[in-house]
């Protein structure tokens, strides 16, 4: 295994530490992970939910919110249609609860049994029979052009809330909310479907505040050189819609008439608005000097409102507040007084809608589940949402989840992303994989203790059955996978069989990727249908477009996607796939790499190191757990553990003042050959908390050892 540790410039590390008040170890890790840019660093240092991106940056958010409230007011029937996986289930539950709070006539549907992913003509018929007039798709819908046309013909408006890659032709829906849409201003693409639904939830709550639809104009003037810099920002729903900044030279100096200002873009922007300013007397005085006479503009002082919530601003100018502000550190360009005024106004708005944000935070447990299940990267705002979601999960506020967490032996410990990914999401996912996603949805929605116990028993048994089925499918089809691997010249794996349950295609494909280190397609085959999943260790965006003419439906992400087609097209698909595979250029994977975040000398190998680990949590896709290197540590004891021949090792490692319990998985055969008891070795490891019998201890998980 090739150990790699990126070299760093020590001066740059110290500068980052100084600017953001970080210790040198944290700064070096941030730089090695290329997280030292302002926009990346922000979401590692700030975790307040008020810093989440504004939902009204989505192009159609206003249309979606207003259509939903129109349906609420007129008592229309609303149908929510989701997907069978954890992201689709949590997205469905979140929106059902959000509309239920508003006394909506709401129902929900998830694909059952062998039903196809996404909308179908049959689903539209079912919805129409229920006299539904508003359909909301969650975690699906972006590819359902024909089905949404059928819905429209049946008098049903459709709102699509999705996060999958949009096709070239979009459905003619009333509103499409998708972070990957080409026409959106939303700054972050990699959200889970449940995360996008959470944005709608916030927007629905915001609609009920006095800020919704309100246009606010912020104004600032300051002296520069021989004149003045004058700027204004127009804000709607806390989103900047327009900004104009101009330099004005006083007429006496410039030799221009006073009517010059009225012809500027700035004057047109602020016309008719009461301008919010910081220190109106000073602002008016400077503007009159710039214009060479009195102004009829109307100013309102924002300071009294700010001081109610931020008393530390008393007596401070905007320039002084910029110096005090943490946010100004993240600006890649000069943080202006107008920027500060806008920041203060938005912060004030969030303080005044504090109850909204607190109510919204309660849905973050669902967002955390969906984000982790769909392997969304834990970067940008996903970090804030998952971190907040873990806090909600640890409080066990949702009755159904509490019942499941207790039965999964997670009560009494700090629940982490690892716990969710290993012990919660696979159980919830098993319901959808076995064609009964409504079981998981009902569990998340239920507050009846007896019913929750029944559902937990049911879903845990389904998970056992899912594992059993998956094991059998693996054993029966591994030889076919090996043949396909050879046929593709070790570039790809394709397997299909009528003994594969469509609910297992994704998990088997992921297992094949892990085994062969190449992309894999697994197809569940019936007499008339072929339904498949694609998984890849690298970006395969657009690969399935090569088969669009033979697919009924397809879509997904760059490394995980799905499709369906007539079984009669399978031979053509297989032939064309192997032709396309010839053109694949996979990245070099000749030797497995172990990327090291930091080398830890003995004096720093102490319990305080866990604070550095926790700074970088939550861990997951796009933000793997920290990997450390320590040299010349001693193996004080070594024990073989585990079933089926004790394949694992339990060690005691000493370095400096401390002795550390450690585990080294699947390494028994290396003991006595590559290392032994009482030897000094170099180790690469993770530092983690180990919970056992209600006791929390620190433990090393060793990844590799060198003499």
pLDDT tens readout for residues 518-544: 999 999 998 888 999 999 998 888 899
**CB 518, CB 483: distance < 8 Å:** no
Q: What percent of the chain has pLDDT over 70?
A: 98
Give the DSSP letter string of 215-270: EEEEEEEEEETTEEEEEEEEEETTEEEEEEEEEE--HHHHT--GGGGGGSHHHHHH
Cis status, amide bond into 618, omega within 30 of 0:
yes
Q: What percent of the chain has pLDDT over 90?
A: 77
Tell me the mean pLDDT in the region 656-669: 92
Reduced to 3 DSSP states, what percent helix, strand and coil does the chain have, rounded to the nearest 5? Answer: 45, 20, 35
pLDDT range class, residue 248, cuts 50, 70, 90: confident
Residue 468's CB: how many other CB atoms inside 10 A?
10
User: Between β-strands 157-161 and 134-138, what pairing exists: parallel, antiparallel or unpaired?
Assistant: parallel
Give the fold, CATH level 3, of 55-207. Answer: inorganic pyrophosphatase (n-terminal core) (3.90.1640)
Give the fold, CATH level 3, of 215-352. Answer: Nucleotidyltransferase; domain 5 (3.30.420)
Tell me the mean pLDDT in the region 134-159: 96
Q: Do 55-207 and 359-462 show the same overall fold? A: yes
Decide if pLDDT at 499 tops 90. Answer: no
- What is the separation of C-alpha 399 from the centre of its chain, rounded to a whole number of angstroms? 24
pLDDT digits (tens, 9 = 90+) for 80-110: 999 999 999 999 999 999 999 999 999 999 9
pLDDT digits (tens, 9 = 90+) for 416-460: 999 999 999 999 999 998 999 999 999 999 999 999 999 999 999
SS3 528: coil
Position 589 scores a pLDDT of 62
Position 591 scores a pLDDT of 64
Position 651 scores a pLDDT of 96
Tell me the mean pLDDT in the region 394-419: 94
Q: What are phi and psi of 631, to 5 degrees?
A: -105, 150
SS3 620: strand
Tell me the mean pLDDT in the region 208-221: 96
pLDDT range class, residue 289, cuts 50, 70, 90: confident
pLDDT range class, residue 554, cuts 50, 70, 90: confident
Domain 593-706 part of CATH 2.40.50.460: yes
d(C-alpha 4, C-alpha 685), whole Å: 13
**Residue 296 burial by Cβ neighbours in a 10 Å radius (0-12, 13-18, 19+):** exposed
pLDDT range class, residue 256, cuts 50, 70, 90: low
Position 638 scores a pLDDT of 94
Alpha-carbon separation of residue 461 from 124, 428, 449 (angstroms): 32, 11, 18
pLDDT range class, residue 251, cuts 50, 70, 90: low
SS3 689: strand
Segment holding 354, helix H or strand E: helix 354-361
Decide if pLDDT at 254 tops 70. Answer: no
Smallest CA-to-CA distance from 676 within 687, 660, 664 is with: 664
pLDDT range class, residue 695, cuts 50, 70, 90: confident
Q: Diameter of the chain by CA atoms?
A: 93
Alpha-carbon separation of residue 161 from 119, 139, 166 (angstroms): 13, 6, 12
Q: Give the single-character DSSP code of 385.
A: H
- What is the separation of C-alpha 681 from the centre of its chain, rounded to a whole number of angstroms? 39
For domain 488-581, give the CATH number.
3.10.310.30
Position 555 scores a pLDDT of 81
Mean pLDDT of the chain: 92
**CB 567, CB 529: distance < 8 Å:** yes
Position 67 scores a pLDDT of 98
CA angle centred on 143, ends 141 and 148, rounded to 5°:
60
Q: At what angle do helices 61-74 and 193-207 cross, to 10 degrees?
A: 60
Decide if pLDDT at 341 tops 80. Answer: yes
In the structure encoding, which two tokens stand for residue 356, read together?
């909204």
Domain ranges for the chain: 55-207, 215-352, 359-462, 488-581, 593-706
Q: Which range has the worst mean pLDDT, 52-61, 244-253, 334-343, 368-377?
A: 244-253
Tell me the mean pLDDT in the region 558-567: 89
Tell me the mean pLDDT in the region 572-585: 92
**CB 266, CB 230: distance < 8 Å:** yes
Q: Sheet of 215-224: strands edge to edge?
A: 239-248, 227-236, 215-224, 275-277, 299-301
Side-chain-side CA neighbours of 297 within 13 Å: the count stands at 32
Domain 359-462 part of CATH 1.10.8.420: no
């Amino acid at each position: 295994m090739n150990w790699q540790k990126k070299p760093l410039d020590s001066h740059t590390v110290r500068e980052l530490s100084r600017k953001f008040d970080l210790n040198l170890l944290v700064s070096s890790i941030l730089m090695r992970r290329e997280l030292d840019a302002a926009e990346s660093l922000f979401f590692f240092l700030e975790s307040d939910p008020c810093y989440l991106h504004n939902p009204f940056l989505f192009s159609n958010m206003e249309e979606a919110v207003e259509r939903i409230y129109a349906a609420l007011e007129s008592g229309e029937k609303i149908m929510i249609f989701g997907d069978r996986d954890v992201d689709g289930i949590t997205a469905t539950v979140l929106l059902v609860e959000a509309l239920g709070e508003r006394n909506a006539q709401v129902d929900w549907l998830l694909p059952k049994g062998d039903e196809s992913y996404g909308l179908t003509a049959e689903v539209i018929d079912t919805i129409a029979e229920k006299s539904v007039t508003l359909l909301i798709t969650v975690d699906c819908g972006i590819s359902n052009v024909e089905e949404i046309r059928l819905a429209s013909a049946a008098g049903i408006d459709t709102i699509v809330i999705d996060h999958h890659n949009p096709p070239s032709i979009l459905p003619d829906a009333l509103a499409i909310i998708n972070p990957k849409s080409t026409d959106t201003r939303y700054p972050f693409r990699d959200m889970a479907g449940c995360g996008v639904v959470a944005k709608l939830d916030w927007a629905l709550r915001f609609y009920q505040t006095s800020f919704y639809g309100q246009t606010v104009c912020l104004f600032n003037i300051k002296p520069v050189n021989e004149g003045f810099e004058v700027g204004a920002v127009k804000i709607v729903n806390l989103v900047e819609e327009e900004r104009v900044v101009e330099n004005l030279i006083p007429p006496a100096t410039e030799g221009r008439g006073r009517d010059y200002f009225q012809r500027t873009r700035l004057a047109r922007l602020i016309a008719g608005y009461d301008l919010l300013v910081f220190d109106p007397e000073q602002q008016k005085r400077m503007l009159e000097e710039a214009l060479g006479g009195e102004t009829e503009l109307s100013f309102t002082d924002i300071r009294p409102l700010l001081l109610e919530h931020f008393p530390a601003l008393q007596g401070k100018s905007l320039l002084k507040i910029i110096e005090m502000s943490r946010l100004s550190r993240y600006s890649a360009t000069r943080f202006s007084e107008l920027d500060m005024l806008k920041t203060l106004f938005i912060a004030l708005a969030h303080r005044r809608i504090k109850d909204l944000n607190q109510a919204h935070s309660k849905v973050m447990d669902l967002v955390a589940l969906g984000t982790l299940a769909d392997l969304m990267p834990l970067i940008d705002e996903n970090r804030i949402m998952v971190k907040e979601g873990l806090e909600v999960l640890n409080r066990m506020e949702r009755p159904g989840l509490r019942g499941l967490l207790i039965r999964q032996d997670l009560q009494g410990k700090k629940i982490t992303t690892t716990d969710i990914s290993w012990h919660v999401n696979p159980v919830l996912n098993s319901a959808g994989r076995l064609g009964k996603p409504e079981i998981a949805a009902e569990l998340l929605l239920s507050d009846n203790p007896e019913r929750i116990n029944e559902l937990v028993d049911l879903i845990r048994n389904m998970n056992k059955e899912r594992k059993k089925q998956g094991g059998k499918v693996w054993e029966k089809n591994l030889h076919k996978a090996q043949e396909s691997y050879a046929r593709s010249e070790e570039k790809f794996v394709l397997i299909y069989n009528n003994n594969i349950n469509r609910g297992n295609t994704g998990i088997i494909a992921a297992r094949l990727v892990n085994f062969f280190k190449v992309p894999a397609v697994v197809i569940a085959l019936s007499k008339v249908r072929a339904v498949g999943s694609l998984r890849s260790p690298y970006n395969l965006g657009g690969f399935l477009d090569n088969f669009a003419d033979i697919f009924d439906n397809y879509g997904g992400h760059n490394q995980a996607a799905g499709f369906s087609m007539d079984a009669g097209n399978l031979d053509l698909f297989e032939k064309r796939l192997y032709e396309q595979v010839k053109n694949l250029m996979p990245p070099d994977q000749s030797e497995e790499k172990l990327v090291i975040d930091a080398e830890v000398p003995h004096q720093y190998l102490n319990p305080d190191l866990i604070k550095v680990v926790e700074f970088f949590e939550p861990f997951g896709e796009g933000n793997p757990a920290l990997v450390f290197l320590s040299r010349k540590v001693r193996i004080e004891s070594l024990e073989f553990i585990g079933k089926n021949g004790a394949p694992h090792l339990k060690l005691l490692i000493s370095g400096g003042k401390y002795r550390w319990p450690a585990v080294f998985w699947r390494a028994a055969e290396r003991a006595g050959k590559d290392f032994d008891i009482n030897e000094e070795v170099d180790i690469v490891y993770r530092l983690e908390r180990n919970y056992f019998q209600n006791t929390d201890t620190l433990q090393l998980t060793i990844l590799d050892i060198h003499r």
